[in-house]
Structure formats: structure tokens, C-alpha cells
């Protein structure tokens, strides 16, 4: 998540520069054919291109609204995880009589958050983090889940026996396995008399909430924006970008009638920068929508799940009176995950 006032124009141009190079090439070819080779018939009525541009605007806008809604849903989801975790910490700190058992319940919950965020940060085939522009931009900020192995994190929160058990499970099942361990621990505490029946029932209700929240997060992660809409969006955008220079050729050629001096007869060459600029608006919107589509992939626009998880850990350990609190991550170039 970007915490600054705005992205710099230079950053945005650098991020989209590969598209700019391609659009300049797309605009240059029709001009060369028209002006140098004399293929004057090689034009398209501007009204046809305008209709295509209108249709493209609708479909690009539709995609951006839907991808933005996915990010907003992810933000709401992790806010609910934060609130439920606070209630979990307050309940454990207030009602679990044994301080050692209370700490284990807190640590096990942090282990669940750790497994969940590592699962959400793992790559999927449809995600865009391996695109050249994103790989290049990724170098200016930190993705904690790619710097520290999950086993190193879990060792801080689980006993040796529980860690060995979770270690054997594949990443996509680790969070569920930790919740299962937590449920067993609650049942054991209740059987021992360390938890009243009312507290046991309330903590199990919270466990159900965590399972539901994990399922919602996994749905956002494992089910991308529908591929049929994604491909039609790309096809419309690039069809418009390719045809736009052909629609502008005759319009700019007409400008020669009222021009004298150096540019007389050369106005057609202005098709290249103008078509590239107009097309860049469409391709940039598509690229922004694409980068917003997957809110957990590790892009600069992601929901800051690492920050939220560390905040939860810090607050819950304060509930049980610990003083050795984890340090919250800090933004790097105004980006924090």
C-alpha cells in the first residue's frame, strides 16, 4: 500500500514506459506507409475509431470498478480480522486463568495469521508480479514474506511439537491446521477446568469467524477476475490502439492546407505522438486495473496484511502483559506491505 500523497509522474511513466515504446512503434508504422510509401488509401474513418474508443472506455471502466471492488473487499476482510483478533486477545487475557496457557493461545493465533499471510503472498499463474515492469518496480520496496522463510516465523510462535506438525503440511493447509490445533487446545483447557463453559463457547464462536475470514481471503486469492472479461478488455484496448493512428492520418493531413513553413506537408507525422498519448491513457488504465486485480500478490498497491498481522501481534501481547513486543514494519519509499 502506498502511504504517500501520490505516485510521482516520473514513477508512473517509468512503470508504463514499455507500453509507451510499443505505442510509439504502433503509431509510426501507419505514418510511414501513408507518408513515405504513398499508400493514401490506408485510412479508417475517424467515426469508426471513435465508436470503438467509446466501447473500449466502457469495458475498461467496468474492469477497473470490479478490480477496485476486490481490493476494497480485501481491506474490509482484514479489518474484520483485526477486530476479531482484538476480541480474541482481550478474551484470552481476561478469562484464561493460566498465564502460560494464555500466551500459547495468543502465540498460536499469531501463527495462524503468519500462515495465512504467507499463503496469500504465494504466487498464482494469473498474477502479474513477474511482469517486467512490476519486477523492476518491486526492487524499491520490501515484501517480508519473500525475505524470511515461514518456518523461521513459526518457530517464534509454536512449540517444537506443533511446529514439526505444521512443517509437514503444504502451505495452503498450514493455516487450517493451526486452527485445528487451537480448537484442540481450547477443548483441553475446558476439560481441565481452566475455561468456563461460557468462555469456551465464545472462543469457539471466534474460531468459526476466523475460519470464515480465512475462506473469504482464499476466495479472493484463488479465484481471479474472470478471464473472459480480462481477455476481452485487452483485445478491445489494443484494437483501439492499433486502429487509432489510421483514423488520425487523414485528419492531420487536412491540417497541411492551413500550414506554411517548416511543417507544411509534414503534419501527418504528428499522428505518432498524439495517437501514442491517447492510446497510453487506455493502456495505463488497463495496467492500473491489472495491478489492482489481485490484492494479496505483493504489488505496491496491495492490502498491507503484514502490517496488520504485526499490529495484531503487538496488541494481543500487550493484552497479556508482555513487554517484548514486535517492531512494526516501516514504509520503504512510502510503500508498506
Question: How many residues in total does the chain contain?
Answer: 337
Average pLDDT over residues 112-123: 91
What pLDDT score was predicted for residue 261?
59
User: Residue 247: is its pLDDT beyond 90?
Assistant: no
Q: Which domain holds residue 79?
A: 9-319
Instruction: Report yes or no on 228 lying in a domain.
Output: yes
Per-residue pLDDT tens digits for 258-314: 666 566 667 788 888 998 999 999 888 888 888 888 888 888 888 899 999 999 988
What pLDDT score was predicted for residue 111?
92
Number of H helices, E strands in the chain: 13, 0
Per-residue pLDDT tens digits for 196-233: 888 888 888 999 999 999 999 999 999 888 888 888 88
Instruction: Report yes or no on 326 lying in a domain.
Output: no
Instruction: Report yes or no on 36 lying in a domain.
Output: yes
Instruction: Report yes or no on 251 lying in a domain.
Output: yes
What pLDDT score was predicted for residue 132?
79
User: Residue 7: is its pLDDT beyond 90?
Assistant: no
Say what the pTM is.
Answer: 0.88
Q: What distance lies between CA 128 and its chain's CA centroid?
A: 9
241 touches 209 (CB < 8 A) = no
Confidence tier at 83 by pLDDT (50, 70, 90): very high
What pLDDT score was predicted for residue 258?
65
Confidence tier at 180 by pLDDT (50, 70, 90): very high
Per-residue pLDDT tens digits for 19-60: 989 999 988 888 888 887 777 888 888 888 888 888 888 888
Most confidently predicted of 68-72, 137-141, 317-321: 68-72
Average pLDDT over residues 114-133: 87
Return the axis-axis angle of helices 171-192 and 160-167, rounded to nearest 10°: 150
259 touches 40 (CB < 8 A) = no
Give the up-direction half-sphere exposure of residue 5: CA atoms within 13 A in the CB hemisphere.
Answer: 2
DSSP 248-291: HHHHHHHGGGG--STTTT-GGGGHHHHHHHHHHHHHHHHHHHHH
Instruction: Report yes or no on 335 lying in a domain.
Output: no
Instruction: Report yes or no on 333 lying in a domain.
Output: no
Distance CA 174, CA 172 (A): 6
Number of folded domains that form the chain: 1
Confidence tier at 74 by pLDDT (50, 70, 90): very high
What pLDDT score was predicted for residue 81?
93
Residues 6+ apart with CB under 8 A from 177: 115, 165, 166, 169
C-alpha cell at 199: 468462555
Instruction: Report yes or no on 49 lying in a domain.
Output: yes
Instruction: Report yes or no on 190 lying in a domain.
Output: yes
Amino acid at each position: 500500500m502506498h502511504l504517500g500523497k501520490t505516485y510521482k509522474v516520473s514513477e508512473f511513466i517509468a512503470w508504463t514506459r514499455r507500453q509507451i515504446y510499443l505505442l510509439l512503434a504502433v503509431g509510426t508504422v501507419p505514418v510511414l506507409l501513408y507518408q513515405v510509401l504513398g499508400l493514401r488509401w490506408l485510412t479508417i474513418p475517424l467515426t469508426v475509431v471513435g465508436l470503438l474508443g467509446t466501447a473500449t472506455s466502457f469495458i475498461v471502466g467496468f474492469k477497473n470498478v470490479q478490480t477496485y471492488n476486490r481490493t476494497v473487499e480485501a481491506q474490509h476482510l482484514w479489518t474484520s480480522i483485526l477486530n476479531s483478533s482484538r476480541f480474541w486477545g482481550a478474551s484470552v487475557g481476561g478469562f484464561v486463568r493460566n498465564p502460560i496457557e494464555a500466551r500459547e493461545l495468543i502465540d498460536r493465533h499469531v501463527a495462524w495469521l503468519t500462515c495465512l499471510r504467507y499463503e496469500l503472498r504465494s504466487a498464482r499463474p494469473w498474477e502479474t508480479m513477474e511482469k517486467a515492469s512490476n519486477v523492476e518496480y518491486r526492487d524499491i520496496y520490501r515484501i517480508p514474506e519473500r525475505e524470511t522463510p515461514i518456518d523461521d516465523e513459526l518457530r517464534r510462535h509454536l512449540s517444537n511439537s506443533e511446529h514439526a506438525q505444521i512443517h509437514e503440511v503444504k502451505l495452503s493447509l498450514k493455516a487450517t491446521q493451526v486452527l485445528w490445533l487451537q480448537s484442540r487446545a481450547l477443548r483441553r483447557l475446558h476439560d481441565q477446568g481452566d475455561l468456563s463453559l461460557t468462555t469456551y463457547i465464545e472462543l469457539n464462536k471466534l474460531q468459526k469467524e476466523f475460519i470464515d475470514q480465512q475462506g473469504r481471503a482464499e476466495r479472493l486469492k484463488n479465484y481471479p477476475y474472470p478471464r473472459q472479461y480480462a481477455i476481452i478488455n485487452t483485445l478491445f484496448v489494443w484494437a483501439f490502439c492499433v486502429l487509432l493512428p489510421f483514423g488520425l492520418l487523414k485528419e492531420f493531413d487536412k491540417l497541411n492546407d492551413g500550414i506554411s513553413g517548416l511543417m507544411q506537408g509534414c503534419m501527418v507525422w504528428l499522428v505518432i505522438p498524439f495517437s501514442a498519448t491517447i492510446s497510453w491513457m487506455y493502456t495505463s488504465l488497463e495496467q492500473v486495473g491489472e495491478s489492482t486485480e489481485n490484492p494479496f500478490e505483493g504489488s505496491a498497491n496491495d492490502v498491507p496484511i503484514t502490517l496488520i498481522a504485526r499490529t495484531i501481534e503487538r496488541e494481543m501481547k500487550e493484552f497479556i502483559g508482555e513487554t517484548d513486543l514486535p517492531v512494526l514494519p516501516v514504509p520503504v519509499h512510502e510503500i508498506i506491505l
